Structures are given as structure tokens and as C-alpha cells.
């Protein structure tokens, strides 16, 4: 946005897709604006309002790998410790594809899971869930036909922030996410996403005042670990780490 301090008038300089990670906007010597994404950049000429959106034209440096997951197409998907970007690796062709920023928020992808040929990701910050079809053109936004597409931010619904336990396929063909709450808060959650409708249910305080730190699932149950800590800056009230089994049909802890 541009704000005229004399008149109070606001105008849009640059709209989605492509909000830079961490809001990394910089002015050059002429007052034009450079915005850095993960693997591309936006440059705005303030006089002409012309916007250039280009890939950074040099190879990126290597990064640590935060996670790996497999998909039905034989590819391995993963992501780095920092940056909202994915990569895929085809071991039969020794082919690596590195994608750009999947959602317009800061942070990183904690885990991705494949379902019906699509890659669903759980990201920090603000508990973002997104979906990407690697067989369709890259067109990131939050519209119905975007690819990748931001589905929901759990922070907007139940103050859930960091998806420590990732996102996983589970019972009834649904996706299950484990999170810690926002900064200074207690009470993590298990969230359940229906990929066919984008409907999501959030079950907070499954273990009272504890965050969800690990999660796995089979065709019947969700298996999880909780810990007494909350979001960054919170003061714990619960005691002890728990392993538990959660039944998504009855919505109860059964072990």
C-alpha cells in the first residue's frame, strides 16, 4: 500500500500473488520498491506503476532439508529450514525441481503430504494450510483456481501457529495437522481438513493446555505426542509429556 500523509489517501502498489517473505520490501535510490520472495522478486516503478515479477537469475545456495515425504507419482517432496518453498526429486530421472513461495506469509513449511496427486502443506507462520498440484501450471494466489492455493490460516480460527507435528493422511480420507498455539498462549490442537470441501474442524486442548509436537495416522486412529509448553513466551501450567491415541470418529482420546 501507498499512504499519502497529506490527504490520507491509500492506493495499492502491489497485490498478490507474491507478498515477500517477512515483508522484505526495500527502496532503491530513486524511491522505487524491490520485494524479495524466496526465489523471485518484484520491482515496482512508482512513477509508471509498472510491476516486474522475475525469477532471481542465479542458482540459489544449498540449504538444510527440514522434511521429506513421498508421493504416488514416485517423487520425493521436501522443503528447507527457512522459506515457504518446496522441492521435488524424481529418483528415476535424477531430476530436482525447486518451486517458489507457496503462501504469502513468512516462515517455512513444516511438512507436506500427498493425497490424490496433490501436495498439501502445513506452514509457519499462522498455521497456514495450502494445496499444490505439481501437474498444473504454477500460479500462486488465494483464488479458487490458484496453484498453489492457500486454503486457511489456523491462527485466524483458533489461535494456532506453528504446525510442529506436520500434516498427514489419516482415517476417512482426511488430513490431520498438529500445532502449537500462538505466541504467549497455551493449548495446541489437532485440526482435520476435508480435501474435497476445504472444510476444517479444529480440536483444541485435546490434552489440556499442551501443544501437539508429533503426529501419525493409519486408517483408524491418530497417534500423537503432546508437551506442556505453549507458544513462544508462554508459561506452562500442565506437567508431563503424553503419548495418546485419538479417535477422529468419536472425537475422543481412547488411549
Q: What are the structural domains of the chain?
A: 2-55 (no CATH), 65-253 (2.120.10.80)
Distance in angstroms (rounded) separating the CA atoms of residues 173 and 200 = 13
The predicted model scores a pTM of: 0.87
Residue pLDDT, tens place only, 44-85: 898 888 888 888 888 877 889 999 999 998 999 999 988 888
Residue pLDDT, tens place only, 126-156: 999 999 999 999 888 778 888 999 999 999 9
Distance in angstroms (rounded) separating the CA atoms of residues 179 and 160 = 6
The mean pLDDT of 91-100, rounded to a whole number, is 93
Amino acid at each position: 500500500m501507498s499512504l499519502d500523509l497529506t490527504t490520507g489517501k491509500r492506493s495499492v502498489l502491489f497485490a498478490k500473488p507474491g507478498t515477500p517473505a517477512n515483508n522484505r520490501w526495500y527502496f532503491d535510490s530513486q524511491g522505487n520498491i524491490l520485494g524479495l520472495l524466496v526465489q523471485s522478486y518484484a520491482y515496482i516503478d512508482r512513477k509508471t506503476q509498472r510491476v516486474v515479477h522475475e525469477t532471481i537469475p542465479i542458482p540459489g545456495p544449498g540449504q538444510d532439508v527440514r522434511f521429506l515425504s513421498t508421493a504416488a507419482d514416485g517423487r520425493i517432496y521436501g522443503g528447507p529450514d527457512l522459506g515457504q518453498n518446496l522441492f521435488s526429486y524424481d529418483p528415476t530421472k535424477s531430476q530436482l525441481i525447486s518451486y517458489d513461495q507457496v503462501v504469502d506469509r513468512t516462515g517455512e513449511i513444516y511438512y507436506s503430504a500427498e493425497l490424490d496427486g496433490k501436495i498439501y502443506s502445513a506452514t509457519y507462520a499462522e498455521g497456514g494450510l495450502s494445496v499444490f498440484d505439481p501437474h498444473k501450471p504454477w500460479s500462486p494466489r488465494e483464488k479458487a483456481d490458484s496453484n498453489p492455493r492457500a486454503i486457511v490460516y489456523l491462527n485466524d480460527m483458533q489461535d494456532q501457529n506453528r504446525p510442529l507435528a506436520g500434516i498427514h493422511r489419516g482415517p476417512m480420507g482426511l488430513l490431520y495437522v498438529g500445532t502449537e498455539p500462538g505466541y504467549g498462549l497455551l493449548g495446541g490442537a489437532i485440526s482435520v481438513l476435508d480435501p474435497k470441501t476445504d472444510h476444517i474442524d479444529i480440536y483444541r486442548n485435546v490434552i489440556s493446555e499442551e501443544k501437539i509436537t508429533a503426529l501419525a495416522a493409519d486408517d483408524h486412529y491418530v497417534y500423537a505426542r503432546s508437551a506442556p509448553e505453549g507458544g513462544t513466551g508462554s508459561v506452562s501450567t500442565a506437567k508431563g509429556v503424553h503419548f495418546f491415541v485419538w479417535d477422529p470418529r468419536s472425537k475422543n482420546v481412547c488411549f
